[in-house]
Chain A
Amino acid sequence: MSTNLSDLKGRDVLDLATAKAVGTVASVVIDASTGRISALTVSGSGDADVLRWDKIKAIGPDAVTIEDASALTAAQGASEEAGSRGDTDPIGRRVLTVDGDELPKVDDLAIDTDAGSVVGLQVGDQVLGGMRLRAIGDYAVIVTA
């Protein structure tokens, strides 16, 4: 299944053991070198704000479900810490090709929720395939030319 990051943001993260929402999806942690989504970040769940991809039970239209609260962990390592700060969220970011040409800013990100991969980046009127993603830096999202 494919979903847009903008639609995924704000979705409840539901703890199936308690049937309570532990927070809402804040953003994603992306490993730009592989195009994989390694985790979701969660707001409202305190310090344990990282939901690693392999801890997700399901991504449904109304909630992201987890077995229990232990699925949430504190950010570990540079990419999760950057994700926890919101630095790996590409929406609204400047886009540059590896040749140094600027494209429109990132409007949205299409995600394959089964594979946990970035399918495409919506930049202005065009969609760039997820394979073109090279890096997400503090200044720009870098894509192949």
Chain B
Amino acid sequence: MTASSEQGRIVRATDLIGRRVVTLGGNSSVEVKDVVFDTSAGSVTGFTLRAPGLLGGPQSVVLPIAGVESIGDDAVMITDEQVFAQPEALVGSGDDIMGDRIITDDGTALGTVTDVAVLVTKGDGDIIGFEIEPTDAAGANTDRVLVPSPDALAMSDEAIVVPAAARDHITTDVDALRSAAASLRGSSS
């Protein structure tokens, strides 16, 4: 457990929606409404919040990623509610990445984004890959695969560009994404 928290954990962005935000003092008044990405930096900048439950209204404050202690299977842990900030604190477009096309820099579409894999460590959320519905060009034989992400990404309203080498690192194993992203970043720099 200790080792895994030092190395961080890989979480799916869609799994975080609705997850409770809890202080290390054991208090909680909000849950995650949405994940805000800064795709050009290849990272999560933070979370918008809502009151818990189906009728929970949006909150006027947000949670910057810098305020996150850790993210577990059941809660997003923060030191205390002092880490909440005004919405302007979240840089990044908040663009919806889901459904965007992933295309290599040599012009091959690999698929469309169905989820985002984030490596969470204390105070940081690194986009290390995308779950996609693959095209035939991806060379996959399952209906969902994971493509590692480079450090920084070029993206428009409809497409995200990854290095051609990303295609060689396509995997179905979330844990393998960590080394896949590392080797992609090593080879593309």
The reply to whether chain A is a binding partner of chain B is: yes
- Interface footprint category on B: 20 to 34
Instruction: Give the contacting residue for A137; candidates B1, B25, B74, B76; CB below 8 A.
Output: B25
Encode contact with A along B46-62: 1 for CB under 8 Å, 0 otherwise. Answer: 00000000000000000
Cβ of B93 < 8 Å from any Cβ of A?
A: no
Tell me the chain A residues, 92-145 only, with Cβ under 8 Å from chain B.
96-102, 134-142, 145
Instruction: Give the contacting residue for A145; candidates B5, B22, B27; CB below 8 A.
Output: B5
Report the separation of the CA atoms of residues A142 and B20 in the bound assembly, to the nearest whole angstrom.
14
Tell me the chain B residues, 1-26 only, with Cβ under 8 Å from chain A.
1-2, 5, 20, 22-26
Report the separation of the CA atoms of residues A135 and B27 in the bound assembly, to the nearest whole angstrom.
9
Chain B's interface: helix, strand, loop or mixed, by majority? mixed
Closest to A134 in B: B24
Closest to A142 in B: B26
- Inter-chain contacts of A141 with B (CB < 8 A): 26
Q: Are A100 and B26 in contact (CB under 8 A)?
A: no
- Inter-chain contacts of A135 with B (CB < 8 A): 24-26
Q: Contacts A101-B73, A101-B74; is A96 near B26 (CB within 8 Å)? A: yes
Q: Are A96 and B27 in contact (CB under 8 A)?
A: no
Interchain Cβ contacts within 8 Å, total number: 66
- Interface footprint category on A: 10 to 19
Q: Are B22 and A138 in contact (CB under 8 A)?
A: no
Q: How far is the CB of A109 from chain B (nearest CB, A)?
A: 15
Residue from B20, B25, B26 whose CB has the most chain A CB atoms within 10 Å: B26
- Inter-chain contacts of B23 with A (CB < 8 A): 137
Cβ of B104 < 8 Å from any Cβ of A?
A: no
Closest to A100 in B: B72
Q: Are B2 and A96 in contact (CB under 8 A)?
A: no
Closest to A141 in B: B26
- Inter-chain contacts of A138 with B (CB < 8 A): 26-28
Q: How far is the CB of B53 from chain A (nearest CB, A)?
A: 13
Encode contact with A along B19-50: 1 for CB under 8 Å, 0 otherwise. Answer: 01011111110000000000000000000000
Report the separation of the CA atoms of residues A97 and B69 in the bound assembly, to the nearest whole angstrom.
12
- Inter-chain contacts of B72 with A (CB < 8 A): 96-97, 99-102
Q: Are A145 and B1 in contact (CB under 8 A)?
A: yes
A-B contact pairs, 7 of them (CB 8 A): A96-B22, A97-B1, A137-B22, A137-B27, A139-B28, A140-B28, A142-B24
Q: B interface vs A, CB < 8 Å?
A: 1-2, 5, 20, 22-28, 69-77
Known: A138-B27, A141-B26. 4 other contacts (CB 8 A): A98-B77, A134-B24, A139-B27, A142-B26
Q: A interface vs B, CB < 8 Å?
A: 96-102, 134-142, 145
